[in-house]
Structure 1
C-alpha cells in the first residue's frame, strides 16, 4: 500500500470546542471515530439555516447533535442533510437525525437504490490494502436503508439546497456546487466552492490509510486514493481524482482524516492524480479484474 506523506504544516483548522474543527468561517467538521461529518453554515446560524454533510456511523447521533448544538445552538436544525454516498460509515445516523430534525436528505440519484430500500452495495474486497479495516470489511453493513419520502435527488444544476446563510455567504464567498466523483461508489459526490477554493472531497481521496486500524488510530496524515475495500470502479476513481486535482483547491476536507491546505496539499493531490495507477491501485484487487455487480445482477457502473 503506497501513500503520499503530507507535511504536518498542511494540516489546518481551529478547534472550537466539542471536537468541532473550523476550516472556514462557515465550514467546520467533527471527526467521529472513523469518519468526518461537516457543517456548512456560520457559527450561530439560525434554525434551518445550515447543512449537515454526511451522518457518520450508526450510534453517532448524540455526538452529531452535540456538535451541531455547540456550533449553531441547541434549538437550531439543518435545512437538509447532504449525503456524499451511502456507505455505512456515512449514513449510520441519517435515519435518526432526519426524523429528529424533520429534514430532507439529498443524494445523487445513482445512490438512491441504497437509500430507498431497494438494493445492497456489492460485497467489499477484504484482500486489498493489507490492513485490519480491510480484513473486517465483510462484516460492514452494505445496506440498504430506507429513507422513505425524506429522500431527495440533488439539484440537476449542481447546486446545493439553499439556506439564507448560504445565499448571504455566496455573495462574499461564492456558491457551493456538488461534483459527481464516482469510483468509490457509483453516485459519490464531492462539494466545491470555487470562490475560496474549498473542497469537501468525501471518499474520492482521503488523508489517512483507512485500510489500517493503526493509521486510523494514530491519525497519521497522508494522501491516499479512496478506501480500497469498498471501491468498485478503479478507472472511474482515477478520473475523479484527476478532476479534483485540476480544481487546485486551497483547502480540502476528506471523509477520513484531517483537513489539509496549501501548496503541499495541492502538490500531493497532483502527484496522486498523475501516478494514480502506481500509488492507489491495490495489488490483485478483485474489482480490477471483475466488474462489480449489484445484488440484483444489474451492472454497477458509472453513467457515460
Structure 2
C-alpha cells in the first residue's frame, strides 16, 4: 500500500478572487474553461461524453470542480485522467481530494515530478519583483510541495497525451522546470498553461476585473526568464487559432496572433520585470 498523499504544511485557502470566479466558457465544443478564484482549469471532451481534466485549481476548491464537472458531463462523472501543466499551488490545489474521489491517473512532465512527490519545494515566491499587489501578496501562497506518492505518472516521452490522442504536449519551462502546454494540430487549439497568460497576474485590480491583455508568465513565481521567453517563441511558431491560459480569458484569431507577436518583440518590456531576485 502506498504512502498517504499530503499537501504541504503551508496549504491553506487563499483569499483572492476575480469577477470570473465560478463561471465557465465553452471555448470550443470540446474545450471548456472554468475559473476558480484567480486560476483556470480546463476540460477537454464533449458534454456528457468522456473527458480529461487539465489542472486542479486553488486550495480547497474540490467541491467547485466536482460541481462544474457534474454540470457539464453529467452527475457523478469523472475524467479519464488529470493532466497537470505544472505543480504550483494554484494548479494542484484540489488534487488529492479529486484523486480520492475519482481514482483516476494523473500525469505530469518528468521534471515536475520532484515537486509532486514531496522531494523538492519550488523557489520561494518573489514579493520584491516589479508588479502590483498580487506580487506583494505572494509570500502567503503555499510553497511546500504536494506529495502524491505513487499517484503521479510521467507523461509519455513521445509527446503524446494519455486519453487525448489528438493533442501533443510541449515542454515550456521558465515558469516552472517541467511546465507543459498542450496543442492540437487539426484546429490549432492551444492550452498554454502559464507560459503566457491573458491578464497581468501581478496586479490585483487587473486580476479582479480580468482585464484582457497578453502577458508573460506570472512574475512572482517565474525563475528562469530566458527559458520563459523561449517557451513563448515555441508556442507562437505553432500559429495557434485559439489559446486558453492558466489566468485570464481565452484569446483567438487575429487578436491572438498580433498579441503573441507583440509579446515576442517586446518580451522584456511586457513580461520580464525590471527588478526582482530571479530577474538575472
Flag whether TM exceeds 0.5 (same fold).
yes
Matches of 1:264 and 1:34, distance apart in 2? 23
Which of 177, 182, 196 is 1:186 aligned to? 177
Whether 2:25 is the aligned partner of 1:24: answer no
The match for 2:268 among 253, 277, 284 is 277
CA distance in 2, matches of 1:285, 1:244: 26
Partner of 1:246: 237
Q: Could you give the per-residue CA deviations for residues 60-102 of structure 1, whole angstroms, max 9, x where no partner exists?
A: 1111101100111112211111110000011100111011100
Per-residue deviation, 1:130: 2.3
Displacement over 2 Å in runs of 4+: none
Query: Match for residue 224 of structure 1?
Result: 215
Match in the other structure for 2:191: 200
Other-structure match for 1:148:
149
Contact 2:83/2:108 (CA < 8 Å) preserved in 1?
Answer: yes
* SS of alignment partner, residue 202 of structure 2: coil
**2:130 corresponds to 1:129:** yes
Deviation at 1:143, TM superposition (A): 2.3
Aligned to 2:158: 157
Q: What is the deviation of 1:288?
A: 2.3
Residue number in structure 1 paired with 2:108: 107
Measure, in 1, the Cα distance between the counterparts of 2:83 and 2:144. Answer: 18
How many residues are paired up? 260
Gaps of 5+ in 1: 1-14, 168-174, 290-304
Q: Among residues 18, 31, 34, which one is paired with 2:38 in the alignment?
A: 34
Question: SS state of the match for residue 149, structure 1?
Answer: coil
SS of equivalent to 2:278: helix
Shift in Å, 1:285: 2.3
- In structure 2, the residue corresponding to 1:191 is in which secondary structure? strand
Structure 2 gap ranges (5+): 1-19
1:60 aligns to 2:64 (yes or no): no
Change (3 A) 1:130 1:20: closer
- Which residue number corresponds to residue 298 of structure 1? none
SS at match of 2:153: strand
Secondary structure in 2 matching 1:237: helix
More helix by share: 1
2:12 alignment partner in structure 1: none
The CA deviation string for residues 186-216 of structure 1, in whole angstroms up to 9 with x for no partner, is 0000110011010010100000111111111
Give the aligned CA root-mean-square deviation in angstroms.
1.3
Q: Equivalents in 2 of 1:130, 1:230: separation in Å?
A: 12
TM-score calculated relative to the size of structure 2: 0.90
